[in-house]
Structure 1
Amino acid sequence: MSARISVMFVVVGLFFGFGLMDCCVNAAKFDELFQPSWAFDHFDYEGELLKLKLDRNSGAGFGSKSKYMFGKVTVQIKLVEGDSAGTVTAFYMSSDGPNHNEFDFEFLGNTTGEPYSVQTNIYVNGVGNREQRLNLWFDPTQDFHSYSIFWSQKQVVFLVDDTPIRVHSNMEKHGLPFPKDQPMGVYSSIWNADDWATQGGRVKTDWTHSPFIASYKGFEIDACECPASVTAAENAKKCTSNGSNRFWWDEPTIAELNVHQSHQLVWVKAHHMFYDYCTDAARFPVTPAECEHHRH
């Protein structure tokens, strides 16, 4: 079934606006938006619920049928229960090629009773190493929670249940590149990463607990669809507001966080973040330039 293309009013979480959109996708069924990309036999479908399995033989992953430029992508995930040490469940956007852009959620499993942590990372023109880690303020294995990536020409925002946990702002005026010229696919996967995922690789995957299962529902993409037959430059032009079209992601009201969202982000950083590459002097003796600008 193809994704529904329509002219619509869009209200998306805390980021909202409206405008005519003849380019854009708004759908919420897995098979409208996504397809399995590997290990088809590790997928279980239970109506609107999708489960991905990880065992000794394989993990599993899926990807979007189309690529997009700007908008918001969301999925609801219930993470692996119990002893999930060594496992990683990822939800991310990425373009193609060695100079790709990428926005990552990586959920790092842990031993029973330890908090589940989430690592975010951003690649710009093929360069990553922008990790932040935080402990979630709830048990993500007991119920579904929404994880979203909002992307505009002004900022990239990671959200958990519509609470912003990270913002990467456009700082081109300071000479820093910003990811805004490559269409990106939407992906998710579960795999074994016990060489690094849990306590730096000190805790290994206990396969007696397998299969490890991540459950998904509520797939939503409200974004500008980019046909493969169209050049990146043409897609960027099509997906940017101009005199005749005004896309919700370009509305001035969401060019930056509002006061409430800013307070939420401060709370997350103060109470839940335990690693920020910007303050890792061992890895970065010279503070990365975007960290300096984000402070101001």
Structure 2
Amino acid sequence: MPLSSQSFNFFHMVPIFTFVVLSLTIFGSNAQGPPSPGYYPSSKISPISFSQGFRNLWGPQHQRLDQSSLTIWLDSNSGSGFKSLHSYKSGYFGAAIKLHPGYTAGVITSLYLSNNQDHPGNHDEIDIEFLGTTPGKPYVLQTNVYMRGSGDGNIIGREMQFHLWFDPTQDFHNYAILWKPSEIIFLVDDVPIRRYPRKSDATYPTRPMYLYGSIWDASSWATEDGKYKADYKYQPFVGRYTNFKLQGCTIQSPASCQSPSVSPSGYGSLSPQQYMAMQWVQSKYMVYNYCHDPRRNHNLIPEC
């Protein structure tokens, strides 16, 4: 499951009046969506069924497959997780996810790439993690990238955290990671929210990874730096997944294999319209950026 040694209470960084404005923006009836990215990569990639691409990894008794939808849940006995059948060198990895409403403090629902089972204690990871919350406060979507994590609490995380411009408990929304040799792009409903370029070999994950999803108890850090814990009087906590997208280069693919693009033809990276949409999201809904945290040792994150 995802590790996150640098998981921060964003209230330490954001003045309270900013939080109030953000809350009003998110929960207000006139919440505005982002400008159109102009290109919708999720429509270009055919969905696959869960059994075509995945298997249960842990907590099988807390996992239910209903046609094309997978439900996993956490209670006081166990959470649950799943794993792709193949390991990938690059690709587009996505799913539509619907989150649990109400009190979800301490609970993480995730979709992430990792090679932890191949390199225990020294692995790479690219994360989408939904940090549970308390009623009246929005979920935090945390993106993270790290390389050769030690697994002992000294992982150098590269977290960027966002609120969302919609309520992720009301319906399914598409979340995706594009991982290429040159860049990583995180997308929400086809809108890029973060781009992580490869600036050096030391700051970029290159070893093959599997795609995972899970729901688990991270009470020690997930909600306001561990202030609020998982409360099992609200169990079970449920995560729902559907519309799985899994297209890329496996470790068996030929060297000529190329991953799908998330940008219109003719652009090596994001188009200007996609950049504009990403900048809109980051200006209005980003609540933490590791590069802007004065408490971080910036010698350890030279890409900033």
Contact 2:247 2:260 in 1 (8 A): no
Contact 1:146 1:161 in 2 (8 A): yes
Q: Taking structure 1 as reference, are residues 147 and 239 closer, same or farther at Cα in structure 2, changes over 3 Å only? A: farther
Q: Taking structure 1 as reference, are residues 259 and 170 closer, same or farther at Cα in structure 2, changes over 3 Å only? A: same
Query: Which of these residues, 142, 165, 170, is aligned with residue 193 of structure 2?
Result: 165
Q: Deviations over 1:68-92 (max 9, x none)?
A: 1222011010011111111001110
Question: 1:144 is matched by which residue type in structure 2?
Answer: F
Q: What is the match of residue 229 of structure 2?
A: 204
Query: Which of these residues, 81, 103, 106, is aligned with residue 83 of structure 1?
Result: 103
Paired with 1:177 and 1:286, the residues of 2 have a C-alpha distance of: 12
Question: 1:106 is matched by which residue type in structure 2?
Answer: E
Q: Deviations over 1:15-53 (max 9, x none)?
A: 899xxxxxxx96510001000000100012222221101
Paired with 2:43 and 2:135, the residues of 1 have a C-alpha distance of: 38
Q: Figure out how many residues of one structure are paired with residues of the other and give that number.
A: 257
Q: What is the match of residue 113 of structure 1?
A: 136
Paired with 2:102 and 2:166, the residues of 1 have a C-alpha distance of: 15
Question: 1:64 is matched by which residue type in structure 2?
Answer: S
Matched, 1:222 2:242: no
Q: CA deviation at 1:159?
A: 0.5
Matched, 1:267 2:293: no
- Normalised to the residue count of structure 2, the TM-score between the two structures is 0.78
Matched, 1:280 2:293: yes
Contact 1:70 1:239 in 2 (8 A): no
Contact 2:178 2:262 in 1 (8 A): no
Q: CA deviation at 1:239?
A: 4.1
Q: What is the match of residue 204 of structure 2?
A: 178
Q: Give structure 1 stretches of 5+ with no counterpart.
A: 1-11, 18-24, 228-234, 292-296
Q: What is the match of residue 68 of structure 2?
A: 48
Contact 1:152 1:250 in 2 (8 A): no
Contact 2:122 2:148 in 1 (8 A): yes
SS at match of 1:199: coil
TM-align CA RMSD? 2.4
% identical equivalent positions: 37
Q: What is the match of residue 7 of structure 1?
A: none
Matched, 1:64 2:89: no
Paired with 1:35 and 1:14, the residues of 2 have a C-alpha distance of: 25
Contact 1:121 1:128 in 2 (8 A): no
Q: Taking structure 1 as reference, are residues 70 and 253 closer, same or farther at Cα in structure 2, changes over 3 Å only? A: farther
Contact 2:248 2:260 in 1 (8 A): no
Q: CA deviation at 1:288?
A: 2.7
Q: CA deviation at 1:115?
A: 0.6
SS at match of 1:124: strand
Paired with 1:250 and 1:13, the residues of 2 have a C-alpha distance of: 7
Paired with 2:161 and 2:288, the residues of 1 have a C-alpha distance of: 5
Paired with 2:172 and 2:42, the residues of 1 have a C-alpha distance of: 21
Question: 2:40 is matched by which residue type in structure 1?
Answer: G
Contact 1:89 1:189 in 2 (8 A): yes
Contact 1:93 1:102 in 2 (8 A): yes
